[in-house]
Structure 1
Amino acid sequence: MIREARAGDLPAVERLVEAAYRPWADLIGVRPKPMDDDYAAHAAAGRLHVLDLREELQGDLPGEDGHAGIAGLIVLVPEEGVLLVDNVAVAPGLHGRGLGRRLLSFAEEQARAAGLGALRLYTNARMESNIALYRRLGYEITESRRSGPRDVVFMAKRLPADGDGSPARAGGSTESNMSDLNVSGLEGYITASGGRSGRLRGRRGVSWADRPARAWSEKRRGWRGRGWLRGRCGAPPRRG
């Protein structure tokens, strides 16, 4: 099951993150920032969710990573009209089981429950397998650019609206121009292989899918002027 992380999960979470991101460090030439993130703060804020497979696998996780039943994790940050998938990782010994897809499907459920019409994420350009997974799940590249020592790819997925105007079910195809979700001023990447929280709520419950393209273009220019596109409170989040 996927649930909010508890304090007792943090040692296993940190071991999982170390194991999941360590192989990427040599590839990209720098230590991924998720390896040094503050997961206690994420858990306290209700942003950190874990995939706990102890019941499903009867406590027997393959490999020797010692994740105490925590097979994966996802960090979700609600923003205005969009849910940021800040980090998603799966235990290396459990790749190929669709767990990354399961975590990203959970993110879509959380976005819909919060009244948010889109999701976005960013990843390192050299993590090609991850980018391919996101594309298969309906994410589109909105921007690629150099950020310090990293080549960052920004991606987004709009959740189509149902007939009542609410975001549609997870897995729906994207039908809108995703360039409207282009976000600058961030750096980082995400690694992946494969319950509804009342704490995940958008600030205004604005559905991006319901806004006309022209209106969003005008509003986006306004955000750029206010510095919104450089991250919440004008500071980019810490990512790899």
Structure 2
Amino acid sequence: MISFLIEVLSRGKNATQSTVRSCISSTSCDPDKAVDGDRNTCMKTKEIGQSSPYKTVWWTVDLGANYSIYSISIDFKDYKEYGDYEMRQRGRFGGFSLYLSYTPNIKGDVLCYKNMLPLPPLEFNTTCIGYGRYVIYYNERLDGVTYPEGYQTLNLYTELCEVTNVRMEPMVLNVFITAVTTALITPSVIRRMDFVNWVVKSDILEISATMSVRKGIMVKTVLTFVQQNAVIHVTVYREPALKMKRQQDNGN
């Protein structure tokens, strides 16, 4: 086990949103439901779109201070308990943006993600590198605009069940991966490093990286962090084996 600085910043912080839909309980759709650590509770706004006077929607969380942000994940409402509503829900969130900002300015200072196509998965995560105090979710359905196929334009409710913002010191990660690779292959020079996956779920963070270290040799490293502890799994491939593995994966 190796200790790393990993912190979930958004949990329990103050959140606001453009509108609040009237729900069964007077507080059951409030903006703080997206940062309460419970994926069974969700914030909910009034609808936007063609039949609504509202054309834009936003939700923001105040982290309380300026932080370096490296990852954002969102659990959208899926309605699995009522049937197969996946595509409808994905269409409601299609086209959304994520901003980082020093102020509560709705469109923020830094656009760190913009969805187009394909439609976003209902368990969404992205690397979002920037600095700020406010994390802002924004979406719109404007009159006179033709949206891509699959986008919902009627009765578009926004329901975010959990928004997780993670910060982590990237230099520590890079030094650690370099050290592991050097220990395995000496002398080792990392020629290329591609981060291919960054997944956050509650207090678990998983990062996958593939590195070209020497001609013909590839190293795939998977780091799994649980709270403040890290476990590393390293697989060393010779390049033909890696290509064969990719071909097998593509054939499945």
TM-score range, shorter chain: 0.3 to 0.5
Query: TM-score w.r.t. structure 2 length?
Result: 0.31
Greater Rg by CA: 2
Query: TM-score w.r.t. structure 1 length?
Result: 0.33
Relative to its length, the structure with more strand (as a share) is 2
